Amino acid sequence: MDAIMNRRSIRRYTGKDVSEDLVTELIRAAMNAPSAMNRRPWHFIVIRDREKLDSVPNFHRHAKMIEEATMAVLVCGDLRLQDNMGYMCADLGAATENLLVKATDMGLGTVWLGIYPREERMAPLSKMLHLPENIVPFSLVPVGYPAEKKKFEDRYDKGRVHRDGW
């Protein structure tokens, strides 16, 4: 519960490398997300290539922080495994959230960069990473050791809770 409550979008990183063991744990957490009909339509691309990371802000104007991250994970969906994008978006969103929460639990910082359904973001990533046509880039998560600390903010809003109807 602490990781869920303390997860925040981190946009400043120390530059310290994230070990492969930690990356495996992040992706293991992501792969244990629920998915419609247990289709698990995900694939994950670990990006450490500095040139590739640094090129992302050229087509994603909210991605400047990736230049400080030592790596990122691209969460992708496979249209052969789940052909309904509504379900696949829910599945990939759950996988992304699991990755974010696990990173917080391990002392890492992350931020969720939306990719799907923005073609101006999807196309350059697909080209740069040589994605097959059946693979849809969904979210990009810069990962690193945080160089900033954000305070806890309780986001519970009882005005958004309804009982037995609106």
Amino acid type, 153: E
Phi and psi at residue 164, to the nearest 5°: 60, 25
CATH number for the domain spanning 103: value is 3.40.109.10
Q: State whether the Cα torsion 53-58-62-65 is positive or negative.
A: positive
Q: State whether the Cα torsion 142-143-148-150 is positive or negative.
A: positive
117: in domain? yes
59: in domain? yes
152: in domain? no
Question: How does pLDDT run across 52-82, given as a tens digit for each residue?
Answer: 999 999 999 999 999 999 999 999 999 999 9
Q: What is the mean pLDDT of the chain?
A: 97
Which of 71, 64, 67, 86 minimizes the C-alpha distance to 138?
86
In this structure, of 14-23, 80-89, 91-100, the range with the lowest mean pLDDT score is: 80-89
164: in domain? no
Phi-psi region of 96 (alpha: psi -120 to 50; beta: other; left: phi over 0): alpha
Residue 166 above 90 pLDDT? yes
Count: domains in the chain: 1
Report the percent of the chain where pLDDT is more than 70. 100
Q: What was the pLDDT predicted at 30? A: 98
153: in domain? no
30: in domain? yes
How much is the average pLDDT of 143-153? 95
Q: What was the pLDDT predicted at 83? A: 82
120: in domain? yes
128: in domain? yes
Residue 159 above 90 pLDDT? yes
Question: How does pLDDT run across 27-58, given as a tens digit for each residue?
Answer: 999 999 999 999 999 999 999 999 999 999 99
Label residues 137-162 b or e (16+ Cβ within 10 Å = b). Answer: bbbbbbbbbbeeeeeeeeeeeeeeee
Tallying the residues shown for the chain, one arrives at: 166
Interhelix angle for 20-31 vs 85-105, to 10°?
140
CA distance 102 to 79: 26
Residue 125 CB-density burial (10 A; 0-12 exposed, 13-18 middle, 19+ buried): buried
- Residue 114's domain comprises 2-145
